[in-house]
Amino acid sequence: MEDKRNNEFPESYPMTGGVGAYSYVQNSKYQRGYVEAAKEVIKEAIVKKFDINCLSAPLNSIFVADLGCSTGPNTFLAVQNIVDAIEHKYQLSEDRDEIPEFQVFFNDHASNDFNTLFKSFPPKRKYLAAGVPGSFYGRLFPKASIHIFHSSNSLNWLSRVPKEITDKTSRAWNKGRIHYTNAPKDVVEAYSTQYAMDMESFLIARGEELVVGGLMALLIASVPDVILSSDFTICTELELLESCLMDMEKVGLISEANLDSINLPLYFPSPKELMAAFERNRRFSIEGIQELGIQDKQLNLQSLTLTLRAGLGGVLEKHFGNNIIDEVFDRFSKKLATTPTLLNLNENQKTSLLFVLLKCKPND
Ligand SMILES: C[S@@+](CC[C@H](N)C(=O)[O-])C[C@H]1O[C@@H](n2cnc3c(N)ncnc32)[C@H](O)[C@@H]1O
């Protein structure tokens, strides 16, 4: 039996579960903006590019998977957009009038709070639903079984923190930083190499699982260039967070060793890096790649702090324990109050949302 590599990637950093004040469910409106921004392009992509003939008769069902679904609710919106678009495509088509059944797979790490997700499935959904735990950097589905893959806000998470950056003997040791923002070249390279390897694993797995003619719609936060500096809003946020942790280290709330060993497994690829990964893989044709504008970027101090906490609270908690998390984000919101530019993303956002549409080609 071929190695499906599902268990090779033990690192996972799920969003904060449940439906409480700090949960992803309550604090993912910013990410929802991405899904909303992509609604029309995905609809158009499906109408123009989805090949109804890629369904295998007599099964005649459409299998859709959302990768990195978290606990909701954005995943439900994304999936509904896809189902509506396919229905619309059938309505436009002359020779196929019977709309097939939809089976939707919701994927995330096994440590994701799937119970919260399952409890909030929309009651009137037009699809059958199932959860699929496991890393999307490995195989998740049988060969040639999925017609449409979707993923939003998830392909910025690396499968792991690059090894070298926690190795004191390495030139890439990332002492005193929690990310590669404004870091030396070796650190940036370690991150970008990890991303390239992860994308390769991701594309190999999806290339096996998609039917020929199947589509993959990806929404990825991206930066114009490989080098990150605090010119990018997300990086300034991470620097602020880093400075809060450093302050806490100075007053003895966390140890120097503990601070030095934390690194966020987040990466913001440039369009060029992504194109290179797709071209290396060769299993997909690039049907579209475009930057999307995000409509609602109005975050206030509280919502920005809570959004970051819902996303990164889990990583910090895993590393430092849960006693310091309130303190970290208290300090973060106080610092944020003195950095008002971060709150006006319309003017200051240089991290963009990239929409990529890939189509699975026949094997060479
Ligand atoms: C920011 S949330 C995005 C959730 C949702 N797609 C949205 O747009 O609101 C990122 C999700 O990706 C998941 N994720 C990250 N790496 C993953 C991996 N290798 N395999 C499966 N899920 C992963 C995380 O656990 C998290 O739930």
pLDDT in tens, 14-48: 999 999 999 999 999 989 999 999 999 999 999 99
Which of the four pLDDT bands, split at 50, 70 and 90, describes residue 9? very low
At residue 233, φ and ψ (nearest 5 deg) are -55, -45
**Mean pLDDT, residues 237-254:** 93
| CA pseudo-torsion sign 224, 267, 16, 122 | positive
Give all strands (DSSP E) within 22-157, no chain letters.
61-67, 101-108, 128-133, 146-152
Question: Which residues touch 216 (CB under 8 Å, ≥6 apart)?
Answer: 148, 149, 150, 151, 206, 210, 284, 356, 357, 358, 359, 360
Q: What is the best residue among 23, 66, 70 to mutate for testing ligand 1's pocket, by most ligand atoms within 8 Å of CB?
A: 70
Residue nearest (by alpha carbon) to ligand 1 atom 18: 135
What is the rounded distance in angstroms from the CA atom of residue 158 to the CA atom of residue 71? 19
pLDDT of 227: 53
Structural domain includes residue 4 = no
Which domain CATH number covers 128? Answer: 3.40.50.150
- pLDDT > 70 in the chain, percent: 87
Distance 251 CA to ligand 1 centre (A): 34
pLDDT in tens, 140-172: 999 999 999 999 999 999 999 999 999 999 999
| CA pseudo-torsion sign 209, 214, 218, 224 | positive
pLDDT of 231: 52
**Mean pLDDT, residues 196-214:** 97
Task: Specify whether the CB–CB gap between 258 and 323 falls below 8 A.
Answer: no
Q: How far is CA 189 from CA 79, 194, 284, 319, 356, in A?
A: 35, 8, 26, 24, 24
Structural domain includes residue 294 = yes
Residue 203 has pLDDT above 80, yes or no: yes
More confident: 57 or 331: 331
Task: Specify whether the CB–CB gap between 222 and 274 falls below 8 A.
Answer: yes
What is the rounded distance in angstroms from the CA atom of residue 86 to the CA atom of residue 124? 17
pLDDT of 316: 95
pLDDT of 7: 44
pLDDT in tens, 271-312: 999 999 999 999 999 999 998 876 555 668 888 899 999 999
pLDDT in tens, 322-342: 899 999 999 999 998 887 666
136 CA: nearest ligand 1 atom = 20
70 CA: nearest ligand 1 atom = 27
Residue 181 has pLDDT above 90, yes or no: no
pLDDT of 3: 41
Structural domain includes residue 10 = no
Distance 364 CA to ligand 1 centre (A): 31
Structural domain includes residue 9 = no
Distance 256 CA to ligand 1 centre (A): 30
32 CA: nearest ligand 1 atom = 9
Residue nearest (by alpha carbon) to ligand 1 atom 13: 68
pLDDT of 174: 94
pLDDT of 175: 92
Task: Order the strands of the 101-108 sheet from edge to edge.
Answer: 128-133, 101-108, 61-67, 146-152, 210-222, 352-360, 284-292
pLDDT of 351: 62
Distance 217 CA to ligand 1 centre (A): 15
pLDDT of 18: 96
Q: What is the best residue among 75, 154, 294 to mutate for testing ligand 1's pocket, by most ligand atoms within 8 Å of CB?
A: 154
Mean of per-residue pLDDT scores for the chain: 89
Which of the four pLDDT bands, split at 50, 70 and 90, describes residue 6? very low
Listed residue (242, 244, 112, 104) closest to 177, CA to CA: 242
pLDDT of 5: 42
β pairing state of 352-360 and 210-222: antiparallel
Structural domain includes residue 42 = yes
Listed residue (120, 156, 119) closest to 31, CA to CA: 156
Residue nearest (by alpha carbon) to ligand 1 atom 20: 135
* DSSP-derived secondary structure for 302-330: HHHHHHHHHHHHHHHHHHH-GGGHHHHHH
- Range of weakest confidence among 106-115, 176-185, 217-226: 217-226
What is the rounded distance in angstroms from the CA atom of residue 183 to the CA atom of residue 79? 38
Which of the four pLDDT bands, split at 50, 70 and 90, describes residue 363? confident
Structural domain includes residue 15 = no
Helix, strand, coil tally for the chain in percent (to 5): 45, 15, 40
* Tokens 């606990």 belong to residue: 71
Residues with CB under 6 A from ligand 1: 14-15, 28, 31, 35, 68-70, 74-75, 107-109, 112, 135-137, 152-154, 157, 159, 311
User: What is the domain count for the chain?
Assistant: 1
71 CA: nearest ligand 1 atom = 27
Which of the four pLDDT bands, split at 50, 70 and 90, describes residue 8? very low
* Tokens 């589905």 belong to residue: 141
Distance 306 CA to ligand 1 centre (A): 17
Structural domain includes residue 149 = yes
Which of the four pLDDT bands, split at 50, 70 and 90, describes residue 54? confident
Distance 360 CA to ligand 1 centre (A): 23
Q: Which domain holds residue 71?
A: 29-360
28 CA: nearest ligand 1 atom = 9
Residue nearest (by alpha carbon) to ligand 1 atom 24: 14
Structural domain includes residue 14 = no
Q: What is the best residue among 157, 194, 234 to mutate for testing ligand 1's pocket, by most ligand atoms within 8 Å of CB?
A: 157
151 CA: nearest ligand 1 atom = 6
More confident: 343 or 132: 132
Residue 106 has pLDDT above 80, yes or no: yes
Residue nearest (by alpha carbon) to ligand 1 atom 10: 154
